[in-house]
Structure 1
Amino acid sequence: MKQIENYLNGKTHILVLIFSLLIVSMEAVAFQPSDVKYVEYKGEVVNARNSRPISSAYLALNNSNISTITNADGEFSLKVPEDLTEATVTVSVLGFQSKTLPLSYFRSANTTIELEETVEELTEISLYKATNPNLLVKEMLAKKDENYLSDQSIMTSFYRETIKKGWSNVSLSEAVVKIYKSPYNSSKKDLVSLYKARKSTDYNKLDTIALKLRGGPFNTLYLDMMKYTEYVLRPEMIDSYKFDFDDPAKINDRFTYVVNFTEIDKSDPWYFGKLFIDAETSTLVKAEYSLNVDDKDAAAAMFVKKKPNGSKVYPTELTYQVDYAQNDGKWHYAYGKAQMDYVVNWKRKIFNSKYKINSEMVVTDWQEYAGNDWKKSVDLINPNIVMVDDVAGFSDSEFWGSNNIIEPEKSIQNAIDKIKRKMDDK
């Protein structure tokens, strides 16, 4: 992760990336829309005790590869092929009891799903046998080939990227991407193609500074710690971390160890967080972690490539999350989220500018892929991509077709509505 991060690049008083952008075709012949009809279900997932919305709740259509996730307001949109009316949907999230519901429970709008908090005394369950967190993490890494996908696959994912200045959204990017996911026991990097994308930036709110995120979907894809162990959990570097057990948890009705980890060497920005490891199979099923950036100069050197004269630019908080899903006994990357806070200080200004960059991606469908010609039939994007500015499409309600997306948060939806009005006025 330290080698592959979001960079800021600048010229004069505009903090933007200056390089040749890769032109990506939106007409990938391998993924033309099908004639399959679908039904869209919308609603929210809430805490049964207090009715508060539950974010990042995972909704999976059983006996299929279709899934989605709730937004920060607990809202979801799930698109299902019309002929799957007898299916069931499992809703799960850390800290709550999973719930499986028939598709008939869902409505086109205003479906409310209540989840009960997990209150079971997990510490007394005899299933927990591990006593050494270091050995457990080493076993987790050693069993990667056994526990994760060993075949190549094509994953359909929805990606969203937002940049805020203060409380205002100034840049919105969304995309449906196709990921060529190489096996977890392979050193080959994953490949990504844009299928649909739209973006708009309101530079009027940016004053003299504009930030852009470099890497796009790759920022969330590279959070797959079990595929890209070289960035955080290199097997040969395990002894450079301190591990200890936290209270165990339950995820998707499975018992998990919770292991706290922190880098011992704190001379540079250093990682710390939690690993959620399946108690039965020693599989990493979730990770939440951060990069300590208290050393502003070191953090700036790592993340800021260029900056305008007379300014200081540095990150103040970097947090990450990755979730895995299981299909037929094998686990795979399901969701990644990165949140990054930056500060810009000007030499002759009293007040600084604060920016918040959020990017998240959820796998909404996947299938095994036995061919070897996928990358020949699509236009691949580069890991250094900056999502294209001012892509039309926010006014088209059918833009995403049958693709599952993450429902926009209320603040994002307000920004999208403003974009629509601006487009209608033209």
Structure 2
Amino acid sequence: MKNYRIINLLLLLLFSFQLFGDDVLQAQSYTLRGRVLASDTRDPLSNASVTVGSLNISSVTNQDGYFTLRVPASAKNSRLIIRYLGYENLEVPVVTLIDKPNNHIMLIPSFIELGPLEVVSGDGSELIREALSRIPQNYSTDPNMMVAFYRESIKKNANYISLVETVLDVYKSSYRSYESDQAKIYIGRKATDISPRDTVLLKFQGGISTALMLDVAKNPEIVFGEKGDEYIFTIERMISINNKPHYEINFLPKNGIKDILFRGKVYLDVESLAIVRIEFNMNVEGRKDASNIFIRRKPSKMKVDVEEARYIADFIENNGKWFFNYSSTEVRFRVRWTNRFFGLFATNYTIGSEMAITDRYQESVNKFPRDERIRSTDVIAEKVEHFQDPEFWGEYNVIEPDIEINNAIKRLSGRLMRRGE
């Protein structure tokens, strides 16, 4: 079976208690808040890109369309650029958002007018092959440093039992290099909510490494293999992203392939053929062997079925080059014990992660010492214990928690003890 290198999960005993530190804002900065909505439907737009035009500072909206962005005082006269797939970009003066927490920002749908001879349907295989061949010229040839916000969570049925948030330093290697990207934890916090009746808990292994590897421009073989020969690619339509036309190309495995592959959509910039976004699912539904991809260890009497595995990766353009900007993972499992109640009762688990690049810079581009790097075998919920701080985020940007996660944080933090007290 193909080596996907996507996610490793460990099923082990774990009882751990920590408390979130308090958020403290440092001086000489502004906190901008808002909610991004579609003007035609009034629906919230999740994962919309929010960027300070004159800087490399950015974030994304949460599932409810909310964002919080901290910017230096020097950015007061800059503009915030809001981007979302299928909608026109909107520029908002930073000064209009300062000290105004209830901003509703409406994005207008963008329609692309096509000439009478333009064809935007049919086989997309050649476009994908060309896009893969252009990666060295469309993406940065020089390594750079990034600051990233990373969040991972585990839900048991409808309740969160683990939340981890970190600020990361990331060494992003050249897209012409076979070097792997590197990350190290700068600061972090976690909360757990484990019942004494819980005898087994999912441990999320390698989440940060997975989030970085979802950069499909850097690691196209993870999804497409060597040349994409195992897939059917179909051009579905033209769509506006960043006020520019893009191909929306669907892909799914060819008939007769027995391996567990993927299906989804990839978006290509029409002019450069850069990959600017990909949304895809692993074809795990109904596959009894899918759990072997995700589960590293489990009790022999435990039966695990993978019900869904979906992923997103997003890129942003700056001065003619494209950069990794955001990724997310969500995998759902159904777990039952074959030696209990005839195996009739099951527990559902959902693991999720998000990584958003909040800053990028070219100064002091250095790899990290080996003992500081995050490894693919690391369980971040355990590693983060050594990086907690009562002042925590300071001026670092995060993804605003959605309502459900925010309620879970409040519930968890009320049951936990501050580290060191």
Give the structure-2-normalised TM-score: 0.89
> Mapping of 1:223-262 within 5 angstroms?
223-234=214-225, 236-262=226-252
Match of 2:159 among 152, 158, 168: 168
Q: Are residue 116 (structure 1) and residue 117 (structure 2) matched?
A: no
| 128 and 400 in structure 1: CA distance in 2 versus 1, 3 angstrom threshold | farther
**2:176 equivalent in structure 1:** 185
Q: Which has the higher contact order (CA 8 A, sep 6+)?
A: 2
The residue type paired with residue 3 of structure 1 is Y
**1:419 equivalent in structure 2:** 412
State whether residues 7 and 304 of structure 1, in contact with CA within 8 Å, keep that contact through their aligned partners in structure 2.
yes
Query: SS of 1:297's equivalent?
Result: coil
Offset of 1:124 from its aligned partner? 4.4
> Mapping of 1:253-292 within 5 angstroms?
253-264=243-254, 265-292=256-283
**1:37 equivalent in structure 2:** 28
Q: In 2, Cα distance between the equivalents of 1:303 and 1:371? A: 34
**1:5 equivalent in structure 2:** 6
Offset of 1:36 from its aligned partner? 7.3
Q: In 2, Cα distance between the equivalents of 1:148 and 1:221? A: 15
Offset of 1:369 from its aligned partner? 4.3
**1:357 equivalent in structure 2:** 351
Q: In 1, Cα distance between the equivalents of 2:64 and 2:249? A: 28
Q: In 1, Cα distance between the equivalents of 2:212 and 2:370? A: 21
| 177 and 370 in structure 1: CA distance in 2 versus 1, 3 angstrom threshold | closer
Q: Are residue 194 (structure 1) and residue 185 (structure 2) matched?
A: yes
State whether residues 120 and 235 of structure 2, in contact with CA within 8 Å, keep that contact through their aligned partners in structure 1.
no
Q: Are residue 303 (structure 1) and residue 294 (structure 2) matched?
A: yes
| 68 and 383 in structure 1: CA distance in 2 versus 1, 3 angstrom threshold | same
Deviations 1:333-385 (A, max 9, x none): 0000111101102212332000111101000000114644x414982111211
Deviations 1:241-288 (A, max 9, x none): 111111211111110001111122531212111110000111110000
| 122 and 222 in structure 1: CA distance in 2 versus 1, 3 angstrom threshold | farther
State whether residues 149 and 183 of structure 1, in contact with CA within 8 Å, keep that contact through their aligned partners in structure 2.
yes
| 106 and 377 in structure 1: CA distance in 2 versus 1, 3 angstrom threshold | farther
Offset of 1:315 from its aligned partner? 1.2
State whether residues 158 and 176 of structure 1, in contact with CA within 8 Å, keep that contact through their aligned partners in structure 2.
yes
Segments of 5+ residues of structure 1 without an aligned counterpart are: 18-32
Identity of aligned residues (%): 30
Offset of 1:35 from its aligned partner? 8.3
Offset of 1:66 from its aligned partner? 0.4
**1:401 equivalent in structure 2:** 394
Q: In 1, Cα distance between the equivalents of 2:56 and 2:189? A: 25
**1:203 equivalent in structure 2:** 194
| 127 and 58 in structure 1: CA distance in 2 versus 1, 3 angstrom threshold | farther
Q: Which runs of 4+ in 1 moved over 6 A?
A: 33-36, 125-131, 392-395
Give the structure-1-normalised TM-score: 0.88
The residue type paired with residue 354 of structure 2 is E
Q: In 2, Cα distance between the equivalents of 1:300 and 1:281? A: 38
State whether residues 33 and 69 of structure 2, in contact with CA within 8 Å, keep that contact through their aligned partners in structure 1.
yes
Match of 1:97 among 88, 108, 119: 88
Query: SS of 2:186's equivalent?
Result: strand
Deviations 1:141-163 (A, max 9, x none): 11111100111100000001111
The residue type paired with residue 11 of structure 2 is G
Kindly report the root-mean-square deviation, in angstroms, between the aligned alpha carbons of the 2 structures. 2.7
**2:20 equivalent in structure 1:** none
State whether residues 394 and 416 of structure 1, in contact with CA within 8 Å, keep that contact through their aligned partners in structure 2.
no
Match of 1:381 among 353, 369, 374: 374
Q: In 2, Cα distance between the equivalents of 1:87 and 1:377? A: 39
Deviations 1:119-166 (A, max 9, x none): x25554877789651111111011111100111100000001111111
Q: In 1, Cα distance between the equivalents of 2:63 and 2:181? A: 28
Offset of 1:197 from its aligned partner? 1.0
| 276 and 125 in structure 1: CA distance in 2 versus 1, 3 angstrom threshold | farther
Q: In 2, Cα distance between the equivalents of 1:35 and 1:202? A: 30
Query: SS of 2:291's equivalent?
Result: helix
State whether residues 122 and 248 of structure 1, in contact with CA within 8 Å, keep that contact through their aligned partners in structure 2.
no
Deviations 1:384-409 (A, max 9, x none): 1101348499995x420111100111
State whether residues 6 and 303 of structure 1, in contact with CA within 8 Å, keep that contact through their aligned partners in structure 2.
yes
**2:54 equivalent in structure 1:** 63
State whether residues 122 and 249 of structure 1, in contact with CA within 8 Å, keep that contact through their aligned partners in structure 2.
no
Offset of 1:42 from its aligned partner? 1.3
Query: SS of 1:267's equivalent?
Result: coil
**2:360 equivalent in structure 1:** 366
The residue type paired with residue 259 of structure 1 is I
Offset of 1:170 from its aligned partner? 0.7
**1:20 equivalent in structure 2:** none
